[in-house]
Amino acid sequence: MKKTLLILINVLFTLNSFSQSDTLNAPKAVLPNVYADPHITAFGKKFYIYPTTDGSEGWKSTSFTCWSSKDLVKWQYENVILDLPKDISWAKERAWAPAIAFKNGKYYYYFSADTNIGVAVSDKPTGPFKDALGVPLAKKGMLKGQMIDPMVFVDDDGSAYLYFGQGNCNMVKLNDDMISYDASKIISIKPKGYNEGSFVFKRNGKYYLMWSEFDTRDPRYSVAYATSDSPLGPFTKAEGYPVLKGKGIVKGAGHHSVVKVPGKDEWYIAYHRFKIPDGNGYNRETCISPMRFDNEGNILPVDVFEKIEAVKIQGKD
C-alpha cells in the first residue's frame, strides 16, 4: 500500500513539474490582456495587429483597436479605431475578426458586426475609420452560415478578393472601389474540416488559402490550408497535419493571419490561444510564431513554443 501511494505521489509530482515547466516555456502573448482573431500586416516600416477585443461571454465586444510594432516583439497600443454603435449605425455589438487592405491610397478595414460584414475607410492605418457604405457589405442571411471573418487579399496586379464566412468559405473579386462586388459571382466552397477564419497569401506564384478547424471554444481548434494557381481556386488541401495546433499548456491555437517581412522570404503567423493558464474560448490571447516552408513550398508545422526574435523592416521611412 505504501509502495503504491509512493508511486502515485511521484506520478503526480512529475505531472505537476511538467505543467509548471510547460507554462514557463510557453512564449508570452504579444498583446496584454485578452485579444483574439489577430490580423497582422506590415505598412511602411511598422507591423500592425488588428484584433478582436475578447473577454466577454458570447463575444459581445463593441470596439476595435489597433496595435503597432517596429520589431514584432514590442507592441504599442494605438487607439480604438472603430466603435459600435457610435461609428456603425447598423450594428451594436459582436465586433469580431477584422482585416485590413491598402489600395488606391486608402486603408480599407473589413470587420464583422452583429454577424454582418462591414467596411470602413481611412487615410491612415491607425484610423480613425469611417463606415464606407452605411450598410453591411455582406448581410446576415445572404448565404449559408454566418457572414463573419472577412479577409481581403490584394494580388500583384492590384486585383482584390474578399474571403469570408463561417461554415462555408465564400470568395469573390472586389470591384476597384474595394467596397462593392458582383454577388452573382460569389464562389462558396467547404474544404474538408473548414469552419471559419479564412486567410489568403501568395508565395512564389502559389496561392495559399488557410482556415481554422473545430470551434474556437474547442481546445482542438487548429489551422489547415490548401493551395491553388488562382486566387479563386480550385484549391487542393494539404493533407497530413494541421499547420498550427495546440500542444501541452497551449490550447485552442487558431484564427490566424500571416505576415511577410517586406524584402525577405521570412514569414510569421499571428494567432490566438486560450489565455494561459486559465483561459477558454472567451478569454484568448494573441501570439506570434515563425512560419516556414519546405523546398516544395509546403508549410511546415508551426512550433507554438518557439519564441520570436526582434525583426526590423529595412529601407527608408
Task: Please identify which of the residues 114, 131, 149, 196 carries the catalytic annotation.
Answer: 196
- Residue 37 designated active-site: yes
Catalytic residue among 37, 114, 131, 213: 37
57 given a catalytic annotation:
no
Cα dihedral: 301, 305, 309, 311 (round 10): 40
Catalytic residues: 37, 196
